[in-house]
Amino acid sequence: MPHADFRSSPPPPGSERQEGLLRLLAEDLRTIVERDPSVRDRKEALLHPALPALWLHRVAHRLHRHGRRLPARLLMLLARCATGVEIHPGAVLGRRVFVDHGAAVVIGETAVVGDDVTIYHQVTLGAVGWWRDNLRAEGERRHPVIGARVVLGVGATVLGPVRVRDDAVIGARALVLGDVPAGARVLASAGTVSPPRAGTASRTARAGLPRPPEERNGSMNPDSTVLIVGATDETVRKAKELGLTVLLLQHPTKVSPEQEELADVLRVLDYTDWAAVEPVARELWQEPGFRVALSITEPGLENAGRVNDLFGLGGTGYQVTRRFRDKLAMRRHLASVPGAELDPSAVAAAPLLRREDLDYFGAVHGYPFIVKPTDATASIGVFRVGGPEDAEQVWATVEGLRGTRTDRVSTMYLLRDFLIEEYVEGPEFSVEAFSFAGRHVVVAITEKFVHADRFAELGHAVPARLDEPVRERIRASVRRFLDLIGLRDGVTHTELRLGPHGPVIIESHNRVAGDMIPELVRGAYGIDLVEYALGWPFGLVPELPDRPEAHAGASVRSLVSEPGRVESVEGVADAAARDGVLDVRVTAKPGDTVHALRDNWDRLGLVAVTGPDTDAAVRRGAEVIDDAIRIRIVGEDGRTWLAHAAEARSLAEVPA
């Protein structure tokens, strides 16, 4: 599947091709006639309030490109005085850009606006602030890139070097601080209708207008109200099925129609930014109020913890959450525990700040060792340093990744800090657990299928095929770890390896797992971890026994291929309808580039199934892929082939 490279600068859109200036100006005039229903002909279009700003910018931009900055600036000031529209001469505007009304539109120097974009009044395409821009390298983009056919509503604000992809809609008063996918909608929270005061006539009722949000699902009781920081549709749906009132903080790029329909209150903002979250949380705490803040998605965890701390709500706070999210902070915390130096399963770790740190760590702790981001997910940016000869290449790659949102990472994550840690040889597992007031229940031990040479997860199976003594060692190790980290309540997903001295914790997260592992747990154990995460703080779910028993096996198998291009995708619906299939998620689309397998992002899809036991489920997943799903790939030489199920490497094939 393709991932855009957010570091590269795009080629100038259509307006900057070698078109004659007069033809370009005539096209601007014709666009006004075509798109403004109040304009009847070209003569009337000449009096359109935004046309002078566009025309003067076309000339100013050419002057700017040829180094005549002063006259270009003078034309910009003239346009602003005449129309209230300020477009820096350095900004690149595409063809047929329509600025309606125009007042108070601001477009910054390094902004790029694609063809056929519609811009309403009070739109800002700006930078995040001089205090950050002064730290950028010379020539680095400071302003947004707007794709073709994008609509920017009244008062929309897009800040920083982000990208709004083709056909997106940025609603009125929306604030955009991250990249927006093609065709997505970014909507600001709408105004609410308050019920009439006692003794006054209800104009809302007479006008047949929608009922106020407070009346949609009855009165909002704070004791049954949850503030969710970031969520999938499934999370919101299950919270409503539990009878909870949902206050949802959602990122502009993640809002869906189902969330808009189900959430009792929806606030659209960058929920990874505490400065944006805090005032909204204080407002919602005052009215309608809530019992706890929750998140089971990685980017929302820290600010959910901050909200709990801010109002003394209990739950998992910021400090504990940070120990989970920051892998170096986790290692340091574990190393500070009395007796840690005697723990044979302890892992040495250090920050990676300089090139020399790699050589020093190898000299002290030996090779191989691991370099990885402190807080990324999905095996992004993880490298194995096999010897001194690997250090230079790894360091160069890390330096290229720092501070970027690369084509390998969701736009919710910014790669900043990296750490070095000892490599642990042995088979890999994850542990899905739930904690009840400090009592840690290991719900499932998940067997992982991993690539032989890359940090890519190719499948999962539950329950893991292990002897009971090994299972018990894993349970004890995870329970001790959760105690040391300080977790008291909620769901966790912990990854570990069985090393020469027993289980070694690699990392952990206070959220549900990805890769459809929650579906496997539900299929094999009948336990819905999402429902437990939402319901436990409100007493809506019972405590689990110490050792839940599986009634079936379940497995996720992934679809992979050698490099090429996706030609066609068929059979997804057929696969989903097969016996024993829990879910099918195919991300590949016709036209996508298929990369050589490096990490989880290079897989083409996942299939989750159940079976009478783990062995049967592992086989069943491959059968469904082979029999039903047809993702045809074409190579550079014209040869075609079908994607296939990734190999499920057994424990016997992985060094213990």
Looking up residue 531, the CATH number of its domain turns out to be: 3.30.470.20
Q: How far apart, in whole angstroms, are the C-alpha atoms of residue 528 and residue 517?
A: 11
- Grouped pLDDT means (10 residues each) for the chain, 656 residues: 35 46 88 85 89 94 92 94 94 93 91 94 89 74 93 92 92 89 83 48 32 44 92 94 95 91 93 92 94 92 94 91 89 81 77 92 93 73 89 88 56 74 91 96 94 79 95 95 94 92 91 92 95 95 94 95 94 93 93 85 91 96 94 94 85 39
Specify whether the CB–CB gap between 125 and 111 falls below 8 A.
yes
Backbone angles phi, psi at 274, to 5 degrees: -60, -35
Q: How far apart, in whole angstroms, are the C-alpha atoms of residue 504 and residue 346?
A: 7
Q: Which of 422, 440, 475 is the last residue of a domain?
A: 422
pLDDT reported for residue 5:
35
C-alpha dihedral over 249, 254, 259, 265, to 10 degrees?
20
pLDDT reported for residue 219:
55
Q: How far apart, in whole angstroms, are the C-alpha atoms of residue 32 and residue 44?
A: 10
pLDDT reported for residue 654:
38
pLDDT reported for residue 602:
85
Residue 367's CATH number: 3.30.1490.20
What domain range is 286 assigned to?
A: 218-314
Q: How far apart, in whole angstroms, are the C-alpha atoms of residue 356 and residue 345?
A: 26
> Does residue 4 form part of some domain?
no
Nearest to 429 by CA among 331, 509, 370, 506: 506
Q: Residue 298, CB half-sphere, CA atoms under 13 Å: how many?
A: 17
In a shared domain, residues 291 and 400: no
Q: Are strands 640-642 and 630-634 parallel, antiparallel or unpaired?
A: antiparallel
In a shared domain, residues 570 and 645: yes
Q: How far apart, in whole angstroms, are the C-alpha atoms of residue 394 and residue 371?
A: 8
Q: Are strands 169-170 and 151-152 parallel, antiparallel or unpaired?
A: parallel
Q: Which of 368, 399, 422 is the last residue of a domain?
A: 422
Q: How far apart, in whole angstroms, are the C-alpha atoms of residue 48 and residue 33?
A: 10
Q: What is the DSSP letter of 618?
A: H
- What's the structural domain count of the chain? 4
In a shared domain, residues 418 and 457: no
Q: How far apart, in whole angstroms, are the C-alpha atoms of residue 308 and residue 226?
A: 11
Q: How far apart, in whole angstroms, are the C-alpha atoms of residue 473 and residue 85?
A: 68
- What's the gap between Cα 27 and its chain centre? 39
Contact partners, residue 509, CB within 8 Å, separation at least 6: 298, 301, 324, 325, 377, 492, 493, 494
> Does residue 191 form part of some domain?
no
Rounded to two decimals, what is the model's pTM?
0.65
In a shared domain, residues 180 and 36: yes
> Does residue 213 form part of some domain?
no
- Cβ atoms < 10 Å from Cβ of 370: 18
> Does residue 639 form part of some domain?
yes
Q: How far apart, in whole angstroms, are the C-alpha atoms of residue 618 and residue 621?
A: 5
Specify whether the CB–CB gap between 258 and 312 falls below 8 A.
no
Specify whether the CB–CB gap between 37 and 20 falls below 8 A.
no
Q: How far apart, in whole angstroms, are the C-alpha atoms of residue 213 and residue 228?
A: 17
> Does residue 537 form part of some domain?
yes
Residue 71's CATH number: 2.160.10.10
Q: Are strands 349-352 and 418-422 parallel, antiparallel or unpaired?
A: antiparallel
- Cβ atoms < 10 Å from Cβ of 459: 25
In a shared domain, residues 136 and 232: no
In a shared domain, residues 279 and 305: yes
Q: Which of 371, 388, 422 is the last residue of a domain?
A: 422
In a shared domain, residues 107 and 136: yes
In a shared domain, residues 290 and 355: no
Q: How far apart, in whole angstroms, are the C-alpha atoms of residue 183 and residue 261?
A: 19
What's the burial of 128, exposed, middle or buried (CB within 10 Å: 0-12/13-18/19+)?
middle
pLDDT reported for residue 416:
76
> Does residue 172 form part of some domain?
yes
Residue 237's CATH number: 3.40.50.20
